[in-house]
Amino acid sequence: MERLEAPYTKQGWDEAIGYIKHNAPLDRATFRRKARKLADAFVDKGLDAHRDADRLEGLSYFEHKVAEVDPTKYSRRAIEAEYKRWYGERYFRFVDFLLDRLVDKGLDQPARLRRQAATFLDVGEYLVERVHGHERVAKALRESPSGRLPSLTKAAIVSLMITTDVKPKEMSEQLRARGIYMNPKTLSVERWRRQTGK
């Protein structure tokens, strides 16, 4: 991400606020719960693909099950059709860079199917780490042990204001231009609280 320095560029604002916006869904508990379910689904798919690779390679005791193996169900196209229907793009934006490793052809070869399985497991692990990481940071910033988790989106916006020395009104305008609506007064209060510790 380009460091914002005066004069601030449109690209700099786009990158800084784009990063904040990308992570904003993690502030919602319902999003985190559903992301964990998607992670579990990818882990299950990875284990199934590894098991089918065992069967294709003749490593399984259950040799007769090789006839049941359908490698096409592990193709990128099939996986996206299956999961995007239930989870939608906003979950997949977090793992697109990993999904780019998936292929659609040659999955009848055990080695390629194992690589596909490893990617499914990576997706599941990455999603869990993102959720846990978000919750760890939020718990560290929480004012009381039993209190509600704070918004890391708001914390990131306040940090950006402080590091760039941007006034609340300008920050509000830059956010609004990129689809995030925050009142300048709210930003002013949050900045004051951060700087004074009150």
* pLDDT, tens only, 107-123: 999 999 999 999 999 99
* Matching residue, tokens 């005791």: 61
Q: What is the DSSP string of 101-123?
A: T--SS-TTSHHHHHHHHHHHHHH
Domain count, the chain: 1
Whole-number Å distance between alpha carbons of 112 and 98: 16
In a domain, 90, yes or no: yes
pLDDT digits (tens, 9 = 90+) for 55-95: 999 988 888 888 899 999 999 999 999 999 999 888 999 99
Question: pTM for this structure?
Answer: 0.85
In a domain, 172, yes or no: no
In a domain, 15, yes or no: no
In a domain, 21, yes or no: no
In a domain, 52, yes or no: yes
- What CA–CA distances, in Å, run from 40 to 27, 43, 73, 122, 192? 20, 5, 17, 11, 41
Going by the DSSP 8-state scheme, the letter that residue 130 receives in this structure is H
Structural domain that includes position 55: 27-146
In a domain, 18, yes or no: no
